[in-house]
């Protein structure tokens, strides 16, 4: 008998759940930045999201990481920045029977104070491209030792010293060249605000209509751009051709349905805009590195549930 719930959405993490007993900073001392450190087992290890950005460093154990529709592997030194409302979880596969005292170091921070700081201090704008990319999840490489030192410095300090340590940490990450975006749909920052608004409008339109037949000619006509200019503009902004981006958007939506519902794979295939199952399976394997069925099976472990 099938007992899996039809919808398995991520939990929303609210302030009242951030208890110092679980490893959070006391609320009266954290200010703009909230630090968290916890081991395993912990009730904090669950599929969830929140309104803040999160810097997450794994200290011990290895296992499977889930960020949005991304499924991958982690080990000590794994460093990720997630944006607001991006669901995530880390499930250890090799934790000893007695658990570990410190598996995760975390820094959470809101967008609004940084946005306000940018108006007063233009230097803060250096990290805005990083925050834009964080909506897809960013994994950094080759900085784990420096990251650990920054985490410890920020967690141990208060007041201006904490802000200074955080700014130095974010500056290092903004300059890091060895990283990858974890989402299957990748957007790169445009050269100016007007271009970024145009990119967002095009991407929003594709997102809303990707379950329908879509052609570049139709989108060009809607946004009043010649096809040759649109093709160059779109590739520069997204890193993909129009067709590749639409396929990635459709696969991303398919991943969400595979994770959150019980719908048949064939139903999802047509719902997200593919016109035959063979092409859907081929594109899914190409983009996600596994079949839709394997993705659904593996995604169940984001709750810490073993599947067979």
Closest CA to 258 of 276, 271, 248: 271
Residue 163: left (phi > 0), alpha (psi -120 to 50), or beta? alpha
- Asked if the structure places residue 6 within a domain, the reply is no
Asked if residues 242 and 219 have their Cβ atoms less than 8 Å apart, the reply is yes
299 plus 223 within the same structural domain: yes
Closest CA to 252 of 185, 202, 180: 185
From 181, 214, 245, give the residue that closes a domain.
Answer: 181
From 150, 181, 212, give the residue that closes a domain.
Answer: 181
Count other C-beta atoms under 10 Å from residue 259's C-beta: 23
64 plus 162 within the same structural domain: yes
- Asked if the structure places residue 129 within a domain, the reply is yes
162 plus 19 within the same structural domain: yes
90 plus 19 within the same structural domain: yes
Chain centroid, CA 80 distance in Å: 8
156 plus 210 within the same structural domain: no
- Asked if the structure places residue 258 within a domain, the reply is yes
Question: How do beta strands 179-181 and 48-49 pair?
Answer: unpaired
281 plus 200 within the same structural domain: yes
174 plus 94 within the same structural domain: yes
42 plus 155 within the same structural domain: yes
What does the pLDDT read at residue 191?
Answer: 46
135 plus 264 within the same structural domain: no
- Asked if the structure places residue 2 within a domain, the reply is no
Mean pLDDT by 10 residues, the chain (308 residues): 53 84 85 94 92 97 90 94 92 94 97 95 95 94 96 95 96 95 60 61 83 92 88 78 90 90 96 96 94 94 65
Residue 247, domain extent: 193-303
CATH number for position 144: 2.60.120.10
**Domains in the chain, number:** 2
CATH number for position 206: 1.10.10.60
- Cα–Cα distance measured from residue 253 to residue 251, given in angstroms and rounded to the nearest whole number: 5
- Asked if the structure places residue 211 within a domain, the reply is yes
What does the pLDDT read at residue 257?
Answer: 92
53 plus 161 within the same structural domain: yes
What does the pLDDT read at residue 201?
Answer: 79
19 plus 41 within the same structural domain: yes
What does the pLDDT read at residue 194?
Answer: 65
- Asked if the structure places residue 308 within a domain, the reply is no
From 153, 181, 209, give the residue that closes a domain.
Answer: 181
152 plus 216 within the same structural domain: no
- Asked if the structure places residue 92 within a domain, the reply is yes
């Amino acid at each position: 008998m099938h007992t899996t719930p039809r919808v398995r959405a991520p939990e929303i993490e609210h302030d009242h759940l951030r208890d110092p007993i679980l490893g959070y900073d006391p609320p009266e001392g954290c200010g703009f930045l909230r630090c968290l450190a916890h081991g395993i087992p912990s009730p904090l290890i669950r599929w969830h999201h929140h309104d803040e950005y999160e810097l997450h460093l794994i200290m011990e154990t290895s296992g499977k990481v889930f960020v949005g529709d991304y499924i991958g592997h982690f080990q000590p030194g794994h460093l990720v920045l997630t944006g607001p409302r991006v669901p995530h979880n880390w499930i250890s596969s090799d934790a000893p029977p007695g658990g570990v005292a410190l598996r995760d170091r975390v820094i959470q921070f809101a967008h609004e104070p940084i946005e306000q700081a940018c108006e007063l201090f233009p230097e803060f704008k250096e990290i805005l491209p990083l925050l834009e990319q964080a909506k897809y999840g960013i994994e950094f490489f080759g900085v784990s030792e420096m990251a650990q030192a920054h985490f410890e410095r920020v967690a141990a300090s208060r007041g201006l010293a904490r802000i200074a340590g955080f700014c130095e940490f974010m500056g290092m990450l903004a300059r890091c060249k060895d990283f990858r975006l974890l989402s299957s749909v990748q957007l790169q920052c445009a050269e100016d605000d007007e271009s970024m608004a145009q990119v967002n409008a095009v991407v929003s339109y594709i997102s809303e209509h990707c379950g329908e037949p879509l052609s570049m000619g139709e989108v060009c006509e809607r946004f009043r751009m010649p096809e040759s200019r649109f093709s160059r503009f779109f590739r520069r902004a997204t890193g993909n051709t129009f067709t590749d981006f639409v396929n990635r958007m459709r696969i991303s939506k398919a991943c969400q349905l595979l994770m959150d519902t019980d719908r048949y794979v064939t139903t999802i295939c047509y719902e997200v805009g593919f016109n035959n199952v063979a092409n859907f399976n081929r594109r899914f394997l190409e983009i996600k590195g596994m079949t839709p069925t394997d993705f659904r099976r593996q995604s169940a472990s984001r709750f810490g549930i073993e599947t067979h």
